[in-house]
Structure 1
């Protein structure tokens, strides 16, 4: 998958994961679809960006004698995720165009000139 496309999907997947429940880094990596290749070294800078943008909140709590950070989607993050989902139809139109054009299918209103 293209790196730029992957970045947008990773952000949306992390927000969706945290929408379901509060979670921590290692668990987020396990929850996100494997095809995206999310690693902890990719995740933590992404979490910092999402936190700086106000899309997630963070709290620290002790777990087995160690401090663990837990992340949760904020209202702003929920809005961001909803916007991402609303773009699905537009993205599918682009995919449809690419697929049709690659297969030589002419769309209505287009000519073969």
Structure 2
């Protein structure tokens, strides 16, 4: 996949979440923290607290499972599309 397309996809995902609610990203981060999928490290920088998020093994497993599930979804869609093409012949 084109790297620019990947970057654009991530941007659109973030923008879509912000469109729903300005606090949606914080909700997602809180949920991932509660699940143990990410950790947070806080550091003070020029009297402001900065948060640095890092993925955990649980988060890596979530990605792996999502990709496996997505492959199944793609296979189903491909199967349906092939049937639709065959019906037109």
TM-score, normalised relative to structure 1: 0.55
1:105 to 2:82 alignment: no
Partner SS state of residue 86, structure 2 = coil
Alignment RMSD, CA only? 2.5
Specify which of 33, 45, 50 is matched with residue 27 of structure 2: 45
Runs (4+) of structure 1 exceeding 6 A deviation are none
Instruction: Kindly indicate which of the two structures has a greater share of residues assigned to helix.
Output: 2
Q: For 2:51 and 2:74, how far apart are their aligned partners in 1? A: 36
Equivalences for residues 71-86 of structure 1 within 5 A? 71-86=53-68
Number of corresponding residues:
76
Q: For 1:42 and 1:32, how far apart are their aligned partners in 2? A: 18
TM-score, normalised relative to structure 2: 0.67
Gap runs ≥5 in structure 2 = 1-6
